[in-house]
């Protein structure tokens, strides 16, 4: 390619080629130029918003220079790439991350000071890119950071939602949802007006025989919607590698058809078509761990899968390689079943458009895809009704049936005696209407299937996917325990702790090899180190206390024990267990004399998280937490002994303030329900201990940090079924302490008891989540925590050891495991000159 360009042209280009700033002067020049020209502001009307805009645009320019080099270099190197398909990317803010990853935060801080601004204020202007619900979306964002930081050639593909996850307001103690229109100023994306894909929906399939007598299928008619690409640069930490996140936005196709309508006076209809098309990428579905089977959601999934695959195939075809090379050049990871339609879509492209025979195409498909499962809960496993797919994607339905036919024939040959097996494993559920089981399609169409923590990966093999282990053998199923990026979740969120660690370890290498933290073990008994560590925790708690004061008006004492549970509100995550425990503590405090009360360990119980708008029980929990807060925080007898806080609109940037400020955080799902959990890792890495059940990654955290350094309680996963069985046949046994809590609620201590009857009744009637069965152990464990916290020296010893032993939970380790076990890809260093 290079050789085809004339020398004169090259010289002119190279002379003026953009180069990034590396010092304060050049940063200021770049920021001011953007403030004056791109933003049309001047010295006299440059507010914090404009300062943010100028800074962000200056850094964007810098990122894009590295982005260009990276993409060029990856194209020339012509080696295998990874594509991470996720319907959710919960990115949070980009500026702080960009400054730290390119190593120019101090430069920018000094530059901004010259211009009259404080770095923290400027960073605080940015809105979160909140294109996700919770764990699954944040994991995708951490993985992008690690892929770039480790120099893997990788792209993310997602949807450019006009509205991210809703903003949560608490009004009179109730959650109210406000739309999150986040795109009015987004300097981090590049519209690629030249990159568009036409996506087809509806229509019919026509069959004919070609000259060789081979049957050919043509998907024709229907509607076309255009996908427009928007690219977001993803900088690696301390490396020029800058990967790409490509997000698709939907627009009406501007074909002749529309012009006809427009000209013939059907103006309204033409506007209507426009809006219908734009609806596809308009909103993120706000459900976490729940599938609701809405048609628009299926449209989103196909729109995004088809656009992404078209893009990937287009890039592959440019290389002029043989089709059999496809899986050697491309690995596609499916983040849960949401992108499963990519499987029949690739098969369709290969068979219908490229003329490959079925078996050749299918082997390419299977060798290309890997599937990650994130949940075992039945209500979250995706199924789509056959009539809906038939209507929207008629050719894909045929292909899914044919995939199923080949699969079932294989199963029948292998297990001729097991008659029930076929209906159990069929991709098509024989219900009314028939349903396509997306997880089964994902397993059949992938070469590897993985869970996200050891227990979870074992559970999927022994429960929901048991038959598939029989069919394919153990090797198709594997585990990759989740991790988090230490760049955002230590260095960015907790700069003081990061600095302290660097001072002992001789630099910041641990940010790229987190196992180096083990060297901190030597300081667990070092008086001075402990003191410094404690002071940082206190400062971080003070920062959160100030935030709580500003946003809720409630004063909390930073010396109290901060007990935090922030995550999506869900019955299986058991915020109800937590708030019932808080009420139990409140009743105990009320029964004490003032002298007794003074001896108690003061506590601040902090909650945060969104409920899906249609999840009524979750909304009841939020309401109860807020009502308990209202009563407890205004009770003069209680004072600092207990405060109950609900932090509004929990999101990524708030988590960056919250995670460094915990003494204890809660990860208390019913055993066997939380696939992994990732905030557990964030809290421990930031010097907090956890109270948790034997669930998800808590088990591996315990193994790594030692059982003396974690507070585990509750029934085990293997016993949960038996207890539920007992509930059904013998009724629920309500714990005595919990009964007192229910009595207080029923007597109206926290407002009209009708408001909470659903919450208490579900425990009394079924207790599916074992709230009562685990209640006593939960309360006792909290008493043990109070005791342990009194001995601050011993507590510091535990927290420091725990931090030192968290090296395993870096997302970098995850990416290396995926690369080796699933993708078979190698990193590729970018030379500074771009070649």
Please give the positions annotated as active site. 374, 567-568, 573, 678, 682
Asked if residues 645 and 604 have their Cβ atoms less than 8 Å apart, the reply is yes
DSSP 8-state class, residue 193: E
Name the pairing type of β-strands 664-667 and 689-692: parallel
Asked if residues 656 and 493 have their Cβ atoms less than 8 Å apart, the reply is yes
CA distance 676 to 685: 16
CA distance 544 to 661: 7
List, in order, residues 6 or more apart from 199 with CB less than 8 Å away: 224, 225, 226, 227, 302, 303, 306, 307
Identity of the residue, 334 or 800, whose beta carbon is nearer to ligand 475 in the bound complex: 334
Identity of the residue, 398 or 817, whose beta carbon is nearer to ligand 475 in the bound complex: 817
Name the pairing type of β-strands 383-385 and 369-372: unpaired
List, in order, residues 6 or more apart from 649 with CB less than 8 Å away: 167, 168, 169, 610
Asked if residues 448 and 476 have their Cβ atoms less than 8 Å apart, the reply is yes
**First CA to last CA across the chain, in angstroms?**
12
What tokens appear for 325 in the block?
């090379």
Looking up tokens 């919960």 gives 90
Identity of the residue, 170 or 681, whose beta carbon is nearer to ligand 475 in the bound complex: 681
Identity of the residue, 347 or 479, whose beta carbon is nearer to ligand 475 in the bound complex: 479
Identity of the residue, 60 or 138, whose beta carbon is nearer to ligand 475 in the bound complex: 138
Looking up tokens 């010295």 gives 43
| CB count in 10 Å sphere of residue 319 | 11
Identity of the residue, 45 or 463, whose beta carbon is nearer to ligand 475 in the bound complex: 463
Q: What is the DSSP string of 754-788?
A: GGGHHHHHHHHHT-TT-TTTTHHHHHHHHHHHHHH
Identity of the residue, 288 or 656, whose beta carbon is nearer to ligand 475 in the bound complex: 288
* Coil, strand or helix at 657: helix
Which residues sit at the interface with ligand 475, rule CB under 6 A? Answer: 133-136, 139, 287-289, 291, 374-375, 380, 452, 482, 674-678, 696
Nearest Cα to 83, choosing from 315, 378, 431, 322? 315
Identity of the residue, 336 or 735, whose beta carbon is nearer to ligand 475 in the bound complex: 336
CB of 136 to ligand 475, least distance (A): 3
What tokens appear for 62 in the block?
């810098």
* Coil, strand or helix at 747: coil
CA distance 576 to 668: 10
CB of 194 to ligand 475, least distance (A): 32
CA distance 445 to 201: 23
Asked if residues 461 and 362 have their Cβ atoms less than 8 Å apart, the reply is no
CB of 623 to ligand 475, least distance (A): 23
Question: What is the helix (H) or strand (E) element at residue 803, kind and residue range?
Answer: helix 792-804
Q: What is the DSSP string of 231-287?
A: EEEEEPTTSS-EEEEEEEEEEE---HHHHHHHHTT-HHHHHHHHHHHHHTTTB----
CB of 720 to ligand 475, least distance (A): 16
CB of 587 to ligand 475, least distance (A): 32
Nearest Cα to 336, choosing from 609, 84, 159, 679? 84
Identity of the residue, 95 or 283, whose beta carbon is nearer to ligand 475 in the bound complex: 283
CA distance 109 to 104: 9
What tokens appear for 746 in the block?
């029923």
283: left (phi over 0), alpha (psi -120 to 50) or beta: beta
Q: What is the DSSP string of 292-336?
A: ---HHHHHHHHHHHHHHHHHHHHHHHHTT--GGGHHHHEEEEEES
Identity of the residue, 135 or 660, whose beta carbon is nearer to ligand 475 in the bound complex: 135
Asked if residues 311 and 246 have their Cβ atoms less than 8 Å apart, the reply is yes
CA distance 566 to 68: 38
Nearest Cα to 482, choosing from 694, 689, 675? 675
Asked if residues 20 and 62 have their Cβ atoms less than 8 Å apart, the reply is yes
Identity of the residue, 228 or 678, whose beta carbon is nearer to ligand 475 in the bound complex: 678
Angle among Cα 512, 515, 519 to the nearest 5 degrees reads 115
Which residue has its beta carbon closest to ligand 475?
135
Tell me whether the omega of the peptide bond preceding residue 739 falls within 30 degrees of 0, making it cis: no
Looking up tokens 């109800």 gives 576
CA distance 537 to 530: 11
Identity of the residue, 153 or 692, whose beta carbon is nearer to ligand 475 in the bound complex: 692
CB of 809 to ligand 475, least distance (A): 11
Asked if residues 825 and 81 have their Cβ atoms less than 8 Å apart, the reply is yes
Identity of the residue, 455 or 560, whose beta carbon is nearer to ligand 475 in the bound complex: 455
CA distance 603 to 704: 28
């Amino acid at each position: 390619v290079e050789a085809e360009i004339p020398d004169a042209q090259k010289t002119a280009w190279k002379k003026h080629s953009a180069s990034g700033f590396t010092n304060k002067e050049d940063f200021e020049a770049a920021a001011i130029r953007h403030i004056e020209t791109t933003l049309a502001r001047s010295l006299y009307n440059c507010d914090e918003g404009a300062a943010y805009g100028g800074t962000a645009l200056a850094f964007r320019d810098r990122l894009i220079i590295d982005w260009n080099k990276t993409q060029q270099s990856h194209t020339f190197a012509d080696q295998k790439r990874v594509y991470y398909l996720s319907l959710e990317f919960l990115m949070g803010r980009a500026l702080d991350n960009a400054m730290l990853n390119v190593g120019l935060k101090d430069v920018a801080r000094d530059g901004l000071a010259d211009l009259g601004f404080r770095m923290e204020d400027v960073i605080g202007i940015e809105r979160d890119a909140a294109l996700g619900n919770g764990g699954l979306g944040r994991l995708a964002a951490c993985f992008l950071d690690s892929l770039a930081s480790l120099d893997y050639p990788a792209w993310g593909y997602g949807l450019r939602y006009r509205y991210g996850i809703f903003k949560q307001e608490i009004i009179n103690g109730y959650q109210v949802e406000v739309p999150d229109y986040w795109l009015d100023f987004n300097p981090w994306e590049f519209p690629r007006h030249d990159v568009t894909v036409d996506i087809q929906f509806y229509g019919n399939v026509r069959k004919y025989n070609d000259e060789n007598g081979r049957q050919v299928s043509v998907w024709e008619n229907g509607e076309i919607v255009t996908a427009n690409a928007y690219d977001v640069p993803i900088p690696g930490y301390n490396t020029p590698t800058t990967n790409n996140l490509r997000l698709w936005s939907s627009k009406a196709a501007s074909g002749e058809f529309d012009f006809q309508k427009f000209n013939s006076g059907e103006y309204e209809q033409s506007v209507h078509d426009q809006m219908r098309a734009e609806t596809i990428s308009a909103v993120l579905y706000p459900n976490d761990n729940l599938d609701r089977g809405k048609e628009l959601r299926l449209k989103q999934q196909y729109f995004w899968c088809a656009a992404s695959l078209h893009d990937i195939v287009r890039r592959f075809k440019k290389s002029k390689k043989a089709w059999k090379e496809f899986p050697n050049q491309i690995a596609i990871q499916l983040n849960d079943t949401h992108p499963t339609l990519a499987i029949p879509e690739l098969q369709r492209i290969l068979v219908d458009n490229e003329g490959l025979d079925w078996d050749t195409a299918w082997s390419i498909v299977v060798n290309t895809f890997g599937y990650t499962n994130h949940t075992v809960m039945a209500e979250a496993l995706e199924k789509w009704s056959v009539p809906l797919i038939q209507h929207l994607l008629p050719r894909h339905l045929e292909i899914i049936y044919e995939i199923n036919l080949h699969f079932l024939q294989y199963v029948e040959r292998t297990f001729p005696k097991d008659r029930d097996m076929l209906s159990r494993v069929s991709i098509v559920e024989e219900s009314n209407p028939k349903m396509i089981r997306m997880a089964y399609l994902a397993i059949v169409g992938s070469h590897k299937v993985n869970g996200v923590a050891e227990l979870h990966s074992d559970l999927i093999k022994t429960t929901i996917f048991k038959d598939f282990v029989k069919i394919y053998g153990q090797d198709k199923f594997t585990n990759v325990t989740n991790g988090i990026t230490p760049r955002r979740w230590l260095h960015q969120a907790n700069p003081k702790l990061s600095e302290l660690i660097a001072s002992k370890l001789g630099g910041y290498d641990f940010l790229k090899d987190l196992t180096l933290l083990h060297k901190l073990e030597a300081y667990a008994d070092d008086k001075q180190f402990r003191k410094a560590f404690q002071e940082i925790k206190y400062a971080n708690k003070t920062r959160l206390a100030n935030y709580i004061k500003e946003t809720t008006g409630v004063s909390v004492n930073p010396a109290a024990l901060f007990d935090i549970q922030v995550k999506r509100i869900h019955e299986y995550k058991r915020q109800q267990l937590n708030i019932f425990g808080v009420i139990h503590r409140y009743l105990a405090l009320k029964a004490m004399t003032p002298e007794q009360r003074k001896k108690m360990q003061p506590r601040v119980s902090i909650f945060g998280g969104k409920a899906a708008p249609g999840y009524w029980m979750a909304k009841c929990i939020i309401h109860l937490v807020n009502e308990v807060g209202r009563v407890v925080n205004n009770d003069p007898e209680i004072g600092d002994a207990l405060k109950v806080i609900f932090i509004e609109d929990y999101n990524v940037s708030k988590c960056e303030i919250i995670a460094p400020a915990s003494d204890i955080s809660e990860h208390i799902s019913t055993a066997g329900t939380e696939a992994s959990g990732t905030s557990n890792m964030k809290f421990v890495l930031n010097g907090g201990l956890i109270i948790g059940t034997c669930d998800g990654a808590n088990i591996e955290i315990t193994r790594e940090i030692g059982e003396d350094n974690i507070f585990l309680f509750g029934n085990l996963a293997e016993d949960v079924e038996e207890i539920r069985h007992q509930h059904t046949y013998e009724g629920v046994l309500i714990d005595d302490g919990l009964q007192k809590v229910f009595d207080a609620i029923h007597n109206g201590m926290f407002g009209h008891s009708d408001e909470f009857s659903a919450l208490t009744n579900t425990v009394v009637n079924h207790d599916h989540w074992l709230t009562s069965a685990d209640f006593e152990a939960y309360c006792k464990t909290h008493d043990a925590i109070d005791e342990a916290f009194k001995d601050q020296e011993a507590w510091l010893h535990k927290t420091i050891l725990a931090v030192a032993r968290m090296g395993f939970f870096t997302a970098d380790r995850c990416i290396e495991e995926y690369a080796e076990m699933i993708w078979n890809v190698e990193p590729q260093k970018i030379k500074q000159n771009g070649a």
